[in-house]
Structures are given as structure tokens and as C-alpha cells.
Structure 1
């Protein structure tokens, strides 16, 4: 009898539940646009165990922005895929022994801090039960806006601009890097782009910005007095609800 008990204790003490590899394809998609991939530096993905916040997988999406016709122009049914083998994503390989509740966070665009947004979702992962194909798609709203003129904290002599239109210039793209153009898939005619101009902390006026070439918007104003100026430039697309903002401060001196 003692021998049987000893054998049983030995067998069960050495027993462990083996972890099963579980694969999850995770993608970041710009609202009203395409996927965020290598051309924009990728979106950063973090998968955490919700119970103890342990990071189970982490990395960046890589690949193309996807097929424009498939994503933006094709009528889709329930089972229609919007990705192909080249479409950007991050394949997380996670070893789990039991059903695990996780959070998935996407931070994007990784290399454009002023436009960066974080979105997340939560779900159960089951050992060995892969989530592939289109996978988990998280939507990133907004526009990436970079003010090109004036430069940050640029000092501008009043004598060089007095009585002349002072140019404002900004580059605007979708959150996937997709182009904004007149009459294009992402039509500049449907977007409101304006600058909010302040001097010494007080509102002066709104400045209308217009597309002059692909992604490039320009506007101007007469700056006739010295002071500390701030330009807040925004883009708004009513149909999608996409918004974006960039700010710059500059100084006009005598």
C-alpha cells in the first residue's frame, strides 16, 4: 500500500500542463483609410495578461497599407476579407496553458508623436486556438498634421514680413500615411483645414488653408506687429469624424 501511495505522489508531482502556442494576427487600421505598416514606421502592439499585467507579446506592425480597391471601394459581406498576405500586421505568438483574458493595445503612428493615439480592446485567448486572417483589427482615428511653416520657435524680423502675406504651410495625411488630394480617395474638398492664430495668448483670427499639391496645404496672413505668436492648425472631415491638430509657436520681433 505504501508503495502505491509513493508511486502516485511521484507521478502527480512531476505532472505539468504544457503550454500551447497561440497565434494572433493584430492589425492597426486608420479610420476611413488603410492599414498602418512599414511605410509609416508601423504601429506598436502590446498584448498583456489582464490579471497580472504581464506582457505576453510586443512588437510593431509591418507590411503594406493594403489593397485600396479591396479596403475602400469593394462592397463587403460578412465573410469578406479586407486583407491580403502583404497587408501590415503583427503576428503575436503566445504560450498559454489555460484560457487567458488579455488586453491588446495599439499605439500609432509610432513616429509621429503629435498625432499619436492609443486604442485597445480585451478578449479571451484559448490555448492553441489561433486568430488569423484579418485577425484583430483596431481602428486609429485622426489625421497626421505637420506644420512646415513657420518653424517651431522661429524668430522672424518684422521688417522682413511687414506689409507682405506671411505664409503658413502644413503637410496632412491619413493615419496610415495615405495621401490627401483634390478629388482623390481622400478628397481635400471634403475636409475643413484652418489655422487658429493667437498673439500674446489672445485670439486674432482664423486662417483658411487650401490644398496646393498632394498633402500640402497653404494659407497666409499679414503680421504687422511684433509679439509671441501661436498657430494651431486643424483638419476636420465631417463624414468620418476624423480630426487632427498640430501647433507651433514663433516670435516676430522689431
Structure 2
């Protein structure tokens, strides 16, 4: 009889413990990163890094990368959007976060992208309440990533150039999803201002405008410089959307 009382007491303790702790439920949240004035950031440019955190404690509840395609160009860029209409499909880039929570939890969702382009990566975030067992799917949480990816192709970092030579200034400029910039294209190269700011070691600077080249997403100019050390900053700017992007390098003129 005493043994029976012990087991019954032990069983009651377990039930009390369960009722106090509650039951954690796996809750799914689809998270996507979308380039401003462009498409979704996916596998073709390395994806966006996603973090889901408890907004109070800062604990990471889940993390991963957006994978998949940039999405349907016709739907995203050419058609008028209607309320509740999904911009994504089953192939569109995203990260499906799975978090175990016992009660409604206030979370912070962060997207850093495009993750593989460190000089261009932008952090976007939002906060929301997540309810246990209440999934957020479809387009899910869409975080906008503004800007351009700018890569200086020429001159090379720390390149030594003779003062008598013309300096080739060439930059690659794409949308944050990797979408190409072309003349008269969806992302029109002639719409964007692309310039080099060349600063000498004494602090004086000059600007050189780069023009669209024949190759998509490529901008080019030539200039000459006196002997010295120089920093070259090339930026892209869209006056309509406010998108911007920058890359820098340093050269030596002999």
C-alpha cells in the first residue's frame, strides 16, 4: 500500500510539472528577403541570412539562409498587386523558420543580405507576436532590402599604375537580388547615376562619371592621375527609388 501511495504521489508531481511548464508547439514562419524595386534574394546570389530571436531575451530561436529562385518577374515587376495576392510561389526564395514556443512570444526577425556580398549587405528587421501552433506561411514575413550591389572590377586593389597610363574605371552594378542592370531593361542602366570619387592622399578629390558599357550591369570610364596614393570609391544611385550602393579600392600611381 505504501508503494502504491509513493507511485501515485510521483505521478501527481509529474502532472503538476507538465501543467506548469506547458506544452511547446512547433510553429512555422516563412521569411523572405526582397530587394527594393526588384525581386527576392535567393540562391543565385548566395541568399540572405535569417535570424529569429526572442525580442526580450535575445535568444536565437532559429536561423538559416533563404534559398530558391528570385521569383516570377512578370508577377513581381510588371503586374499590379492586389490585396492578399501572393507574390511568391513554391520555388521563390525563403527560409522556413521552425520555433518551439509554449506561449505567445514577441520575436525579432532579421535578414542580412545579400549575405555573400559583404560590402553591399544590408540588415533589415521587424518584430511581431508569434502564437504557438499558428503558422505564418505563403509570402510570410517579407523584409525589404534596399540598395545596389557594386563591385569594382578595375582598377584592382593596390594596383600599381604608371602615371603616363590611362586608368580604367569599371564597375559591376546589379540589384540586391542579383538582377541585371541594362539599358532600356526592367532595371534601366540609363536611369542610374554611377560615379567614381577619387581621393588623393592629401584629401583632395575629383569625380568621374561612369557610362553603361555594352556588357550588362557594367559601367566604365577612363581617367588619368598624377603620382601618389589614391582611394577610389564608386557609387550607384537611383534618384527614383533612393537605392544606393558603394565599393572602394586603393591604388598607387608611380
User: TM class by shorter-chain length?
Assistant: over 0.9
Aligned to 2:218: 216
Deviates more, 1:5-14 or 1:52-61: 5-14
Tell whether the 8 Å contact from 1:196 to 1:203 is kept in structure 2 after alignment: no
In the alignment, the residues of structure 1 paired with residue 30 and residue 18 of structure 2 have an alpha-carbon distance, to the nearest angstrom, of: 34
Counterparts of 1:133-148 in structure 2, within 5 Å, are: 133-148=138-153
C-alpha deviations, 1:195-241, integer Å up to 9, x for none?
11122243342101011120010011122x21001111111101111
The reply to whether residue 122 of structure 1 matches residue 127 of structure 2 is yes
Q: Provide the secondary structure at the position in 1 that maps to 2:119.
A: helix
- In structure 2, relative to structure 1, the CA distance for the partners of 1:90 and 1:158 (3 Å cut) is same
Q: Provide the secondary structure at the position in 2 that maps to 1:158.
A: coil
- TM-score w.r.t. the length of structure 1 is 0.92
RMSD: 1.6
- TM-score w.r.t. the length of structure 2 is 0.92
In the alignment, the residues of structure 2 paired with residue 140 and residue 14 of structure 1 have an alpha-carbon distance, to the nearest angstrom, of: 43
Q: Provide the secondary structure at the position in 1 that maps to 2:248.
A: strand
In the alignment, the residues of structure 2 paired with residue 10 and residue 115 of structure 1 have an alpha-carbon distance, to the nearest angstrom, of: 53
Gaps of 5+ in 1: none
In the alignment, the residues of structure 1 paired with residue 117 and residue 135 of structure 2 have an alpha-carbon distance, to the nearest angstrom, of: 32
In the alignment, the residues of structure 1 paired with residue 13 and residue 92 of structure 2 have an alpha-carbon distance, to the nearest angstrom, of: 52
- In structure 2, relative to structure 1, the CA distance for the partners of 1:201 and 1:243 (3 Å cut) is farther
Aligned to 1:77: 82
Aligned to 2:37: 32
Aligned to 2:175: 174
In the alignment, the residues of structure 1 paired with residue 139 and residue 16 of structure 2 have an alpha-carbon distance, to the nearest angstrom, of: 41
In the alignment, the residues of structure 2 paired with residue 173 and residue 79 of structure 1 have an alpha-carbon distance, to the nearest angstrom, of: 29
In the alignment, the residues of structure 2 paired with residue 37 and residue 147 of structure 1 have an alpha-carbon distance, to the nearest angstrom, of: 23
Tell whether the 8 Å contact from 2:155 to 2:167 is kept in structure 1 after alignment: no
- In structure 2, relative to structure 1, the CA distance for the partners of 1:85 and 1:188 (3 Å cut) is same
Q: Provide the secondary structure at the position in 2 that maps to 1:248.
A: strand
Gaps of 5+ in 2: none
In the alignment, the residues of structure 2 paired with residue 11 and residue 24 of structure 1 have an alpha-carbon distance, to the nearest angstrom, of: 31
